[in-house]
Amino acid sequence: AQSVTQLDSQVPVFEEAPVELRCNYSSSVSVYLFWYVQYPNQGLQLLLKYLSGSTLVKGINGFEAEFNKSQTSFHLRKPSVHISDTAEYFCAVSARPGKLIFGQGTELSVKP
Amino acid sequence: EAGVAQSPRYKIIEKRQSVAFWCNPISGHATLYWYQQILGQGPKLLIQFQNNGVVDDSQLPKDRFSAERLKGVDSTLKIQPAKLEDSAVYLCASSLGTEYTEAFFGQGTRLTVV
């Protein structure tokens, strides 16, 4: 079985500051890794995904994540955030295509 | 390209009543998913369809929840009878096929059971 732990439930940050949202996972098999963003009253939108290859993955809106197999982590980063990045961010793992196991979510709040 | 359509957007019912949600996936997407997102938690997969067949319904509470995908396109999720703990956002998602990892999500239906 797989599980995901997002280490911070809320992350407040000032505009133009860097941010890191932490995600650890547990799995006995190889997994695919994802970050999704959910804006208020919206569905989930894929930010980026790791399937194989380079451990540094670049996504939309300037976000990137690094897969660290030894530490079973997949932290999300952005060097400079905007007010519009305020949203809920979900880390997810999948041992087979289609079945996503989500973390609890991290609420990113960007303040002016 | 049109996205995943869900209706209604909001629904309030009393406990023990029944309710149904509708989902129209992206055209051509063979795989359809229903997720339940309880407030403060990440989405949880309830059921996955490949065309009109069920791939995974291991977390669907089958005593009260049912889902169908007639003709392999639209899908409905029904709850009967509803309980207070069913209050959640029900998200529908679709993907090209089971071998594709990216799922596209609808805006969801927010259900409140009072």
Cβ within 8 Å, pair A104-B41: yes
**How does strand A73-78 pair with strand A64-68?**
antiparallel
**How does strand A23-26 pair with strand A3-6?**
antiparallel
Q: Is B101 in the A-facing interface, judged by CB distances under 8 Å?
A: yes
The pLDDT mean for chain A works out to: 93
Q: Is B12 helix (H, G, I), strand (E, B) or coil?
A: strand
Q: Which of B45, B53, B49 is nearest to B31 (CA)?
A: B49
Cβ within 8 Å, pair B98-A97: yes
User: In chain B, where are the structural domains located?
Assistant: 5-113
Q: Is A40 in the B-facing interface, judged by CB distances under 8 Å?
A: no
CA B67 to chain centre: 8
Give residue A62's pLDDT. 95
Average pLDDT of each block of 10 consecutive residues along chain B (114 residues)?
Answer: 91 97 94 94 93 92 95 94 97 83 89 98
Q: Is A10 helix (H, G, I), strand (E, B) or coil?
A: strand
Cβ within 8 Å, pair B41-A105: yes
Determine whether A104 is exposed, middle or buried from the number of CB atoms within 10 Å of its CB (0-12, 13-18, 19+).
middle
**Spelled out in words, what is the top-level CATH class assigned to the domain B5-113?**
mainly beta
- The whole-angstrom separation of Cα B14 and Cα A14 is 42
DSSP string, A67-88: EETTTTEEEEEESS--GGG-EE
Residue at token pair 């795989």: B31
Cβ within 8 Å, pair B107-A44: no
Q: Convert the pLDDT of each residue in A3-38 to its tens digit.
A: 999 999 999 999 999 999 999 999 888 889 999 999
Residue of B nearest to A4 (CA): B42
Cβ within 8 Å, pair B4-A97: no
**Spelled out in words, what is the top-level CATH class assigned to the domain A3-111?**
mainly beta
C-alpha dist (Å) from residue B59 to A109, B45, B46, B52: 32, 7, 5, 18
Token pair for A50:
């790791």
- The whole-angstrom separation of Cα A63 and Cα A90 is 13
Give residue B22's pLDDT. 97
Give CA angle at B47 (B109, A34), nearest 5°.
Answer: 80
User: In chain A, where are the structural domains located?
Assistant: 3-111
Name the β-bridge partners of B42: none
Of B44, B91, B98, nearest to A43 by CB-CB distance is B91
